[in-house]
Amino acid sequence: MIIDLAALNWLAILACVVLGQIILTVWFAVLVAEPWAKAYGAADKAQHAAEIPMYTYGIGLLCTILLSIGLATLGNALNVTGIAGGLSMGLFVSIFFCLATAIPGYAFLRRWPALVLAIAPQVIVILVMSAVLAIWA
């Protein structure tokens, strides 16, 4: 596999970072804020939000950037094009990488509700990013 960062569509990567952050923010701050807080032992979303260090948001952004670049590099190396190709790659990455690495950590912590709440937006983000990158390939 040849990794050619110069051949990547950096505008598509930027769009994926923005889309990823929007999806994750809406998911965790709006759609599942209360259940997410309770899955981590907080009384409510206000307490949970107060306990999160600010640098955590920077780490999340960095991870979204790395995910976008990684998916773009993989899609480029595999010559993935079109929405069907992007969704296929996204599904592959979601199952064989995202699920395979997330489930053990949550299993050891025995935080099954948190697993469901955390894995769903990750899969959505991976599928959306993969499709966007493949469309712009």
Residue-level pLDDT at 43? 85
Q: What is the pTM of this model?
A: 0.93
The pLDDT tens digits for 48-67 are 888 889 999 999 999 999 99
For the chain, domain boundaries: 28-135
3-state secondary structure the chain: CCCCHHHCCHHHHHHHHHHHHHHHHHHHHHHCHHHHHHHCCCCCHHHHHHHCCCHHHHHHHHHHHHHHHHHHHHHHHCCCCHHHHHHHHHHHHHHHHHHHHHHHHHHHHCCHHHHHHHHHHHHHHHHHHHHHHHHCC
The pLDDT tens digits for 55-102 are 999 999 999 999 999 999 999 999 999 999 999 999 999 999 999 999
Residue-level pLDDT at 51? 87
